[in-house]
Amino acid sequence: MAAAPHRLKPERKIGPVLAALAERYGPKVLSPREPLAVLIRGILSQNTSDTNSGRAYDALMAEFGDWAGVAAASQSQIARAIVSGGLADQKAQTIRTVMQWLGERERDTRSSAAYSRAAYSLDFLDGLDSAEAERTLTQFKGVGIKTARLTLLFGLGRPVFVVDTHVHRVSRRLGLIPPKCGRDKAHDVLDALIPDDQTYSGHMNIIEHGRRTCRSRSPLCDACCVRRWCLYVRISPATG
């Protein structure tokens, strides 16, 4: 007798779950962005809304013009520019550290004439494997696994899976990760589970599902396209 869908092992659930989400929310196609811009946006997005972090990024670029301008700014100047994103002093320190590191790295490889504008880039990460690139980025306080992997996925098109609060919640409810699996560990579990060609689409569609349907509070279980594979819907007092 075949197992009920919600009792399937994660490796048997993941295919139909991703297919159902793609049918509901549509396939997603990645258009890689500038890696350094992705990294800075990721730093600014921590503990705030997309709206606030977007405003902070726009303000940063409006104030300093380009990455050379950001690198020349003091930590306090950066903090004033990004205040709308919250935790401005903390994030400014991380941004300042990253920019200083990039500048020092490039001084060793470029002439002074080429250095001034071309120095501030993360394109060199393309020459590293994903694990090494992730370690390179997470050496900085304020750059965690999620931010590093966002940079690799969105900036370099690497097939690494990224776990945010929505992905973590939905994956746990579906039984794709163990109940007590933390967010950092979930990166490795889901990275091994989700096919490389679906890392971007899966990431985006799980996030959309978490925002629109599988919400933290009062999830819309009756409207859920993956409820047949869900453990939560069977144990939640609100849904029976």
176-194 pLDDT per residue, tens: 999 999 999 999 999 999 9
Domain boundaries of the chain, sorted by first residue: 5-30+160-235, 35-156
CB atoms within 10 A of CB 180: 7
pTM confidence score: 0.90
The CATH number given to 35-156 is 1.10.340.30
Distances from the Cα of 48 to the Cα of 1, 140, 169, angstroms: 48, 20, 18
pLDDT at 130 over 70: yes
Token output for 125: 């990460």
Residues 6+ apart with CB under 8 A from 89: 75, 79
For domain 5-30+160-235, which architecture applies?
Orthogonal Bundle (1.10)
Give the pLDDT confidence score for residue 162 in this predicted structure.
97
| 3-state SS track over 179-197 | CCCCHHHHHHHHHHHCCHH
- C-alpha 157/C-alpha 30 separation (Å) is 7
Residues in the chain: 240
150, pLDDT greater than 90: yes
Active site residues: 146
Residue 73: left if φ>0, alpha if ψ -120 to 50, beta else—which one? Answer: beta
pLDDT in tens, 60-75: 999 999 999 999 999 9
Distance, C-alpha 225 to centroid of its chain: 24
